[in-house]
Structure 1
């Protein structure tokens, strides 16, 4: 195992060493050729067939030069064989021209010319530029960069070679690898490099390069924008396509954890070839077969594509290779999310490919604004076809598919350019009239250098240097770094451009929706923006209503999930052995709901709501209490009123016949007190009806307890009076002195006082209060009186029960005493009814809920009171009203 690791490490080291040696060899050879190339005279205007000369460059002289490395031309370079001189192996074949990127070249030239016309920025300095192409190749990028530094553009009589020339800064490149290759050389000479591509510095190793400046936002800032975009459309099952290089590795290493942390799964990750390496037809077909398989998964509708500028060319070629009747449908009906570096561009070789598959794509682009005069400058592009503009011919011929006359080469072919061609008529995939994000970065880069030079010339130290006879253009390039770092200015588009101390430009990204047309043109519609410094969850703004989706979706937002969303009322249950985005849907458990699709867990409703039958929502609970309006309340209130009136009538009858024997028997005053107590007991039950209030809750149980204890005390006193009266009739009894009103009144007052004391303690310590029971009944909020202290409540009832049991016992023992109008047997029966009611009350009260609990208590009050009233007073009323002859002294004497 250890040997294997050592062999692997050794192989990697040897490979890296070989690459470094190859780079050194190429650079040394080119450096040996440079003095000859730089100082030789160019006597003829038509170049000879020199394989070393680079055909594409644009030079405009000036006191200070801004270099540019564009990425417009592409050649199929052979691998170095070391059989011939390296310069002889860098031959050129038919170029592949990305005509759209000619705008980057024009943006640099436009900015330089605009600054030269503005006398407020560099009044005594004329800026020039020297633009070359990287050719999407590492060797050519190194050579291009060296040419910018050292090669003289053309021969000048009595010219003395400079090493290096008056190059103040270089703008480029578009991709991460090109930028890194340039930085390897430019950093040696401390020449500022302002890159206009958006990529992560960690993926290129440029974070520690002191001369490296980023004129586009760091691409890492768009990663969270992609996450928020996926979350906005609830796409949780996505495919990742990344270019097969270091930047693609960095993207996957950063993006996949972010996806998992935010509830999104990558259905697959697929590496695609780097744009700089063109595969053979066999290799391309083999790669196509491998990449085609993930597209067969119909559940993966969304693809996040990461790559460099022209990955669209590769994807378009991929579709072009497929049999339209066999595999093309696999690529249709997909949502393509493109990262910042990807541009919708085509070349002459693939202009007929199926560009329609990208209909409805969503792309992140560098934020741009339109600069005044740029479109007019583009419309006059034909005036730029000077001999020094080597980019124009390649652009024009490939954009319009025609040939420009060449004075050095006789031409007798068809397809000569007429000169009537208009760039504004070109499709956007070939050339755009609106300034793109990359062109906007190039434009800002030129202005950043100009403003840094302006600040440099305005500083006190440099004013002293220039006062000594030195010119600004003679100052060394390394001195500009301190002025570039932290620079801030307003461009002609009215936006503030600033670089921080690390040489990075802030800002966000635009989110664009692409609408394609059959003629390979398209329209970009801005649908949102990415704000990296926004609070969490607010990183993007999105107007989803204006998105135009692929026609296969019928303008309905597509789904990109491992399985269908769980409906409301269900929750997700993970499938064993699969990613967390793949799950089953199970119903919510009892008492919980899910009110949205695809919820991880169900949840309980708020206390004032309850789950619907389908468990997909919460329904507001009805406020429940025993009211006067409902039938049960009306019935109980009617019974209470009826018995109250009945008690009042009995009291009237007894008052009217107060001097009759039956009324006077067994203490007339106790009879009146008992009737009044029963009357109040019936009325007391009405306090339990209606919505509980603070006053009613505090008084109803206490009033009920005191009044009932008074009524039972009267019954107890009457029973004791009967027993004592019988005992007092015995000769020589000493109990006679106890018989009278004093004893009965003492019994009533003392028993009632004890109950009143218990109630006062209850009210003083933990009184009842209005409360809402949210949980006892489903669908109802029970408005009730919380008893405060349950112990005190049952103590009150227990004391009444104690009095009732004593009364029942005494009355039961005295039920057969031979006395006229003996009430003991009636009291016995009434107490039996009373005790039976209240003994059944406790289990009934505990087992019921809501308003029915209150109804049980009201019924117990009415039933026990009615039992006392009926059992004790109905026989007497019968005699008073229907048998008056029995209620007379004569009848009593006869019985005696």
Structure 2
């Protein structure tokens, strides 16, 4: 301050023909002492000179000290007198104050952004027991409101240091497992490995630079006010000596601290008298280090701001002034509030930096980000690792060079670790929102961001991957040529081949007794129908299409209806032939070949009509089943009309039941001449298969429904094939001696005894 005043008074451009005066008071870093000094100045240069408050104050402005709490007290005292204060300390209320450094509202905002930048969401706050600390904490809580940062606790450091209270604060810290903002000493408690966040008040405090502090405070990060350069400060400090300032007690204390001697002889001295040859040297770094002053630079700027404001005030021309009726301030009677106006409007350059203030009296919000790192000597060095520029758009103010930061150990401060993608946060009941559990997303839901609040559903045709981080297309399944489809195909082809083989055997032996007596024409019809039944299964295998779905159910229903109609015709012939009660009854003329063909055609036609109505009204169609197994899309054939589907099956069942009843009535007739026993047994197997099919089909999942229907078709077809044709093939191929007319005629006599019309039956 003295250097700045002397430079201004020696300048021919700034305040020419005027001399700045000043008086410096020491508040001893105590608010009440600062308040007493301000009251003394308001009443005159000393209390003895002006015991009463009278006339205007001789004081136009006050340069506040670097302590915030003291500055607040002085500012409130000066407010009723409208005396402005230019302060070089952080401030949260700038009414009638000009802030050379940014308003601490910006520092609060910067600290909040720093916490968010490093994802430190679980923090504790420790403040000083004064108004500034209370306002700072309130401002920080306001900035953190609605963010992801939770405050674990708040503690207050008492003005009067108390060891017990300090231990209690440390205990709270340990119990909360947090990184806190603190500026009390923690060396005695041996607290290491903690990342401290420092406010501007102590982030550049030289008292912590000793190597003994590094294990406990190394890696501290915080915001420091902008540093600058004062060209003449180093040389000016070297002029300090007891000879030049013989009445300054502070110089005496400085000499005692540096040299251990007293420059002023006195009977109360604890130190020997100095020789007078002692001078300040560069090795006195704590005092002589002027490479990057911060607070001192802002005091320097504050004096120049007052000088430039006074200069502009004195240049005012009458009639063009800023006050009432365009008036100017009187140069011989300047009022403090008039200077306040010019202070808010002042703008000047200093060492390449533009100095100006807004309407609130705040300067440009700019901070250096300081990191405490180990120097070459083992002591702490303050290293710039970034900046906070409040002039930039929101969200871009903070610029950090993270690769330059030296951490003390921990780099995370969380109550709960972040939930990775694939999970969501579940807040614990009764705890802050920062304390949560990570719950994996359910199947079909994903979260592709860290700390997702909820999991989102995948689209209908997609499903979550194994990690629940992205949606992937659902697996499409249908009855394909795989582990299930290939066996069905093989069985179907084998069944059709056996049926064709039986057809060849019967055709080759068509003139033999066994083939002729069992109505060869109907046998060939049945074999043809069974071949189609076996081949129907192949339509059920493969990806469903519109045509394959319509063909599946209609083809198997018509072929089975044809097969059962043929068996029904054969059963009627046998029953009619062997149940004629009187010789000469001509009942067989109503069941000749033409009538048999008519029975087969008419019975099959009914099924064809049902299928045609089905296809016209509500045909089967391919559908995508996503309900049975949500992780897959099952391609299947929907029946379209359930009524038509069950009508088709019901009609086949009706034919089978009728055939079974008729065959059951003729089951005890001579076996050499009729097939009633075999038809009865074949219908039992057929009915059992399809009765079992109904519940199995209804409960079968997805593509297994088609497999169940295919197995039912194959099982019933094999049942009919073996029951009806295996005994005859056995006689034809293995017992040819029984396949003769003579062998059959040997039974005529016994048959005549049982059935009077046996001759007609044989015919």
Q: Same fold (TM over 0.5)?
A: yes
Report what 1:502 is aligned to.
Answer: 360
Report if aligned partners of 2:496, 2:530 keep a CA contact under 8 Å in 1.
no
Shift of 1:291: 1.5
Report if aligned partners of 1:624, 1:850 keep a CA contact under 8 Å in 2.
no
Deviation sequence 1:50-92 (CA, Å, 0-9, x none):
xxxxxxx727659xxxxxxxxxxxxxxxxxxxxxxxxxxxxxx
2:68 to 147, 166, 176: 176
Report if aligned partners of 1:593, 1:605 keep a CA contact under 8 Å in 2.
yes
Q: Quick check: 1:426 aligned with 2:285? A: yes
Report if aligned partners of 1:448, 1:484 keep a CA contact under 8 Å in 2.
yes
Instruction: Report matched runs for 1:72-91 at 5 Å.
Output: none
Shift of 1:288: 0.8
Report if aligned partners of 2:199, 2:222 keep a CA contact under 8 Å in 1.
yes
2:692 to 837, 840, 864: 840
Shift of 1:812: 0.7
Q: Distance in 2 between matches of 1:889 and 1:522?
A: 123
Report what 2:540 is aligned to.
Answer: 685
Cα distance change of structure 1 residues 444 and 759 upon mapping to structure 2, 3 Å threshold? farther
Report what 1:365 is aligned to.
Answer: 223
Q: Distance in 1 between matches of 2:71 and 2:319?
A: 31
Deviates further, 122-131 or 136-145: 122-131
Structure 2 portions without partners, runs of 5+:
47-53, 578-584, 749-761
Deviation sequence 1:491-519 (CA, Å, 0-9, x none):
7566x776544344564655432125597
Report what 2:635 is aligned to.
Answer: 785
Report what 1:702 is aligned to.
Answer: 550
Q: Secondary structure at the residue paired with 1:808?
A: helix
Q: Quick check: 1:867 aligned with 2:719? A: yes
Q: Distance in 1 between matches of 2:275 and 2:636?
A: 98
Cα distance change of structure 1 residues 864 and 163 upon mapping to structure 2, 3 Å threshold? same
1:293 to 153, 165, 168: 168
Q: Distance in 2 between matches of 1:763 and 1:460?
A: 101
1:335 to 195, 216, 225: 195
TM-score, length of structure 1 as denominator length: 0.61
2:156 to 271, 280, 283: 271
Cα distance change of structure 1 residues 181 and 123 upon mapping to structure 2, 3 Å threshold? closer
Report what 1:515 is aligned to.
Answer: 373
Deviates further, 736-745 or 831-840: 736-745
Let me know the Cα RMSD of the aligned residues.
6.0
Instruction: Report matched runs for 1:657-676 at 5 Å.
Output: 661=516, 665=520, 667=522, 670-671=525-526, 674-675=529-530
2:560 to 696, 700, 712: 712
Report what 1:356 is aligned to.
Answer: 214
Report if aligned partners of 2:87, 2:99 keep a CA contact under 8 Å in 1.
yes
Cα distance change of structure 1 residues 243 and 225 upon mapping to structure 2, 3 Å threshold? same
Cα distance change of structure 1 residues 655 and 442 upon mapping to structure 2, 3 Å threshold? farther
Q: Distance in 2 between matches of 1:860 and 1:590?
A: 38
Instruction: Report matched runs for 1:808-887 at 5 Å.
Output: 808-815=656-663, 816-817=665-666, 826=678, 828-845=680-697, 849=701, 855-872=707-724, 874=726
Q: Quick check: 1:246 aligned with 2:246? A: no
Report what 1:30 is aligned to.
Answer: none
Greater gyration radius: 2
Q: Quick check: 1:195 aligned with 2:49? A: no
Deviation sequence 1:692-726 (CA, Å, 0-9, x none):
5xxx2545443221111112221342244345556
Deviates further, 241-250 or 385-394: 385-394
TM-score, length of structure 2 as denominator length: 0.70
Q: Distance in 2 between matches of 1:825 and 1:724?
A: 14
Shift of 1:844: 3.9
Report what 1:636 is aligned to.
Answer: 488
Report what 1:58 is aligned to.
Answer: 2
Q: Secondary structure at the residue paired with 1:757?
A: helix
Q: Distance in 2 between matches of 1:843 and 1:744?
A: 30
1:524 to 382, 389, 395: 382
Q: Distance in 2 between matches of 1:526 and 1:379?
A: 22
Report if aligned partners of 1:712, 1:807 keep a CA contact under 8 Å in 2.
no
Report what 1:322 is aligned to.
Answer: none
Q: How many residues in Structure 1 have an aligned counterpart in Structure 2?
A: 711
Q: Distance in 2 between matches of 1:214 and 1:503?
A: 6
Q: Secondary structure at the residue paired with 2:292?
A: coil
Q: Secondary structure at the residue paired with 2:89?
A: coil
Report what 1:747 is aligned to.
Answer: 603
Report if aligned partners of 1:623, 1:783 keep a CA contact under 8 Å in 2.
yes
Q: Distance in 1 between matches of 2:517 and 2:350?
A: 115
Report if aligned partners of 2:63, 2:87 keep a CA contact under 8 Å in 1.
yes
Report if aligned partners of 2:560, 2:652 keep a CA contact under 8 Å in 1.
yes
Q: Distance in 1 between matches of 2:33 and 2:366?
A: 32
Q: Distance in 1 between matches of 2:569 and 2:85?
A: 118
Q: Secondary structure at the residue paired with 1:739?
A: helix
Report if aligned partners of 1:511, 1:529 keep a CA contact under 8 Å in 2.
yes
Cα distance change of structure 1 residues 152 and 253 upon mapping to structure 2, 3 Å threshold? closer
Report if aligned partners of 2:197, 2:221 keep a CA contact under 8 Å in 1.
yes
Q: Secondary structure at the residue paired with 1:132?
A: coil
Report what 2:614 is aligned to.
Answer: 758
Report what 1:48 is aligned to.
Answer: none
Shift of 1:584: 11
Report if aligned partners of 1:626, 1:854 keep a CA contact under 8 Å in 2.
no
Report what 2:752 is aligned to.
Answer: none
Report what 1:769 is aligned to.
Answer: 623
Q: Distance in 1 between matches of 2:501 and 2:349?
A: 100
Q: Quick check: 1:219 aligned with 2:98? A: no
Q: Quick check: 1:141 aligned with 2:34? A: yes
Q: Distance in 1 between matches of 2:528 and 2:166?
A: 101
Cα distance change of structure 1 residues 416 and 460 upon mapping to structure 2, 3 Å threshold? closer
Report if aligned partners of 1:624, 1:851 keep a CA contact under 8 Å in 2.
no
Report if aligned partners of 1:719, 1:811 keep a CA contact under 8 Å in 2.
yes
Report what 1:803 is aligned to.
Answer: 651
Q: Distance in 2 between matches of 1:464 and 1:582?
A: 57
Shift of 1:522: 1.9
